[in-house]
Structure 1
Amino acid sequence: MTVQPREQLPTVRGRQTQAAIDAAARAVIARKGILATTVADIASEAGKSTASFYNYYDSKEAMVREWAVRFRDEARERSLAAAEPGLSNWERSQKAAAAHWNTYRHRLAEIISVSQMAMISDDFAEYWSDICALPIGLITALVEQAQKQGFSADSDARLIAVALVSMLNQFCYTQLSGSAESVDDAACIKTLAEIFYRTIYHREAHTP
């Protein structure tokens, strides 16, 4: 899926209006999902007319495509934190869990939009696959490293990665798609890190 980012709008007012539309769209999509959200919903949430929306985006799908460009590099950057050298197994688990959680925390609307559009669009399905490939590839490499240390010796590294990413995705979505403000980030990251650690490094009796 190839998407070219829109050039920056020339006026401060134009940028402010687009930011208001984006913020409104994220709020509505986080509540209703992209498939149930209409342009009228977004415009109403932003306090703008539907005509204002179309000054910036050709459709809600076009809006999601532009979001996807902004989201992709950020997700990749976060995922690399767990691959830093010199980390203990527990620290690596914490960083991997935090990267996944924080991506959902800050980009929930983008993730919901792309994942739901993937159900009805081959184009978005390809992009969702690309997004998931980032953490799957990282976790596969971590499992393979763990296997060299004697952990998860008889397991399929990629299948473990796919299972963990599926669990991480569902947990983050379930926790954040409702009243996200009341969610305890630290507790959720700790829970995910413990599951991550015990799954990959399951021969160790206790976390440090």
Structure 2
Amino acid sequence: MSEEARPTKRGRETLEAIHAAARKLIAEKGFLKTTLSDIVKEAGKSPASFYNYYDSKEALLEHWARQFQDEARERLLIAEATAPTDARSRVRIATRAHWETYRERLAEMVGVYQLAMVNDEFAKVWDSLCEEPVAGIARSIVRAQSRGYCPGVDPRLAAEAIVAMLNQFCYEKLANGRAATVDDEACIETLADIWFRSIYWKP
């Protein structure tokens, strides 16, 4: 959103309605199946209202994605700072942070994930969103290996595999209108257990 498009009070209400409509539709239908006409109809606004703030639904999505990245980074830092010292608890806390952020920012994650498959620019955005958790997990694997765990495992590749698992599982369980029926705790525990077991083993 450009600086000159900063909304007034009435404008903020319009923008909130557009965001709420877009989030609802993208979470239910996916980004590729959601049109700008769908969004403004759901919001009860005109296309001109949308174009006051964004050039396209892709521009809206990129704005959301950057917000998501900032929020995910903050959650991860808080999770790491407050986590217990034992590895299993740290993995569980990090898994919960990832799951809850994905759930709360479902439209962003679904949108960027789907658009990344057909748009080179959004492929870069998706890579950027994944890079921080990948780097953090890779560092944790290096620390685990210094204590004798998972010898011979490539930290970077293993971290990429774990993040891919987290993202794909979140997508399968939460996207396309399935979020309301999911057992969050069971999913978090399952992901955390697989993540923990993939690193903390010895020959």
The 1:6/1:185 distance shift into structure 2, 3 A limit, reads: farther
Residue in 2 that maps onto 1:171? 169
In the TM superposition, residue 24 of structure 1 has moved relative to its aligned partner by 0.7
Residue in 1 that maps onto 2:158? 160
Q: For 2:139 and 2:91, how far apart are their aligned partners in 1?
A: 13
| RMSD after superposition | 2.0
- Whether 1:31 aligns to 2:28 is yes
- The superposition leaves residues 87-140 of structure 1 with CA deviations (integer Å, 9 ceiling, x where unpaired) of 210111111211210121111111111122222222211111111111100110
Residue in 1 that maps onto 2:112? 114
Q: Is the 8 A contact 1:83 1:138 kept in 2?
A: no
Q: For 1:10 and 1:109, how far apart are their aligned partners in 2?
A: 22
Residue in 2 that maps onto 1:182? 181
In the TM superposition, residue 196 of structure 1 has moved relative to its aligned partner by 1.1
The 1:148/1:82 distance shift into structure 2, 3 A limit, reads: farther
In the TM superposition, residue 40 of structure 1 has moved relative to its aligned partner by 0.6
Name whichever of 41-50 and 124-133 sits farther off.
Answer: 41-50
- Whether 1:71 aligns to 2:68 is yes
- Tell me the TM-score normalized by structure 2: 0.90
- The superposition leaves residues 29-86 of structure 1 with CA deviations (integer Å, 9 ceiling, x where unpaired) of 1122212211011112212222322222211011112112211111112223454375
Q: Is the 8 A contact 2:115 2:123 kept in 1?
A: yes
Q: Is the 8 A contact 2:151 2:202 kept in 1?
A: no
In the TM superposition, residue 144 of structure 1 has moved relative to its aligned partner by 0.8
Q: For 2:37 and 2:114, how far apart are their aligned partners in 1?
A: 19
Residue in 1 that maps onto 2:40? 43
In the TM superposition, residue 173 of structure 1 has moved relative to its aligned partner by 0.6
Number of aligned residue pairs: give it. 201
Unaligned runs of 5+ in 1: none
Q: For 1:78 and 1:25, how far apart are their aligned partners in 2?
A: 24
Q: For 1:14 and 1:166, how far apart are their aligned partners in 2?
A: 38
The 1:126/1:186 distance shift into structure 2, 3 A limit, reads: same
Q: Is the 8 A contact 2:2 2:53 kept in 1?
A: no
Name whichever of 80-89 and 31-40 sits farther off.
Answer: 80-89
Residue in 2 that maps onto 1:194? 193
Q: Is the 8 A contact 1:135 1:165 kept in 2?
A: yes
Q: Is the 8 A contact 1:79 1:134 kept in 2?
A: no
Residue in 2 that maps onto 1:126? 124
The 1:197/1:127 distance shift into structure 2, 3 A limit, reads: same
Q: For 1:89 and 1:66, how far apart are their aligned partners in 2?
A: 35
The 1:10/1:82 distance shift into structure 2, 3 A limit, reads: closer
Letter in 2 for 1:42: I
Aligned-partner SS, 2:189: helix
Q: Is the 8 A contact 1:81 1:95 kept in 2?
A: no
Q: Which aligned segments of 4 or more residues in structure 1 are displaced greater than 6 angstroms?
A: none
Letter in 2 for 1:143: I
Aligned-partner SS, 1:113: helix
- Tell me the TM-score normalized by structure 1: 0.88
Percentage identity across paired residues of the two chains = 52
